[in-house]
Amino acid sequence: MRVKFSKMHGLGNDFVMLDGISQRIKLSPEKIRRLADRHLGIGCDQVLVVESPRNPDADFRYRIYNADGGEVENCGNGARCFAKFVRERRLTAKKQLLVETAAGMLQLNVIDNDRVSVDMGAPILEPEQIPFAADIRAETYPLEVDGEVYTIGAVSMGNPHAVLLVDDVDSAPVATLGPKIENHTRFPQRVNVGFLQIESRERARLRVFERGVGETRACGTGACAAMVSARLRDLVDDHVEIALPGGTLTIHWSGPGQPVTMTGPATTVYQGQIVL
């Protein structure tokens, strides 16, 4: 199977983009892992596939596979790349797109050639819907790891996130604590882990250990979840610049029940073909 692809990234969070409309693609977890392998394949954090929608109101269906081969619900940086990809491939000329995902519908708005704004929908805060094992909904929760108790926020942006406040994001134990929280028994579907440093009410820094991937240079849903968790704790205002290792995202959220809006760049690196 010879497959055409584009390599793209959003702030260094990189993707293999596949057009499943104009070419026939049959993926397995093994093939996804091969595509994502940085030594034996193309190399990426996620493989993203464009398909025809099942919902008649949607323009496209957007499917997301982590580097470990598992399919996941949402990817904010990928959504921005998705919007640019379908226009570059001339699958549409629209600047406003409604996209079907496993987590629901996403509204994508192309601002210019390199910047895309995404309506990520309202955050999910009820523990059973995240999912997260807790008796009642709260702004923060205690989480015991190796005998030590950490305070986390728990938010779903269509995928689950745990958010920890740290004094210095550069020295945060992302590589060691991240995988332990990712696989914690209180998160039955595993979790993405954000390490958040508040600099002011308008600016914060973030590193994210992504479920099934490891630390990435940027995570769009992670930035949204971090902003929501910080705002629930009254640490930030409704418009925040989130600086990640790969660059900065602008996140807006006015409060519970309202959608989160994320704005940032999408970049095409190269196009090619690969035999699977």
**Which of the residues are catalytic?**
75, 219
Q: Which residue has the tokens 């996403």?
A: 106
* Coil, strand or helix at 71: strand
Residues with Cβ within 8 Å of 93's Cβ and at least 6 positions away in sequence, in order, are 87
Angle at 59 between CA 87 and CA 117, to 5 degrees: 60
* Coil, strand or helix at 117: strand
Largest interatomic CA distance in the chain: 54
* Coil, strand or helix at 225: helix
Is beta strand 60-66 parallel, antiparallel or unpaired with respect to 96-101? Answer: parallel
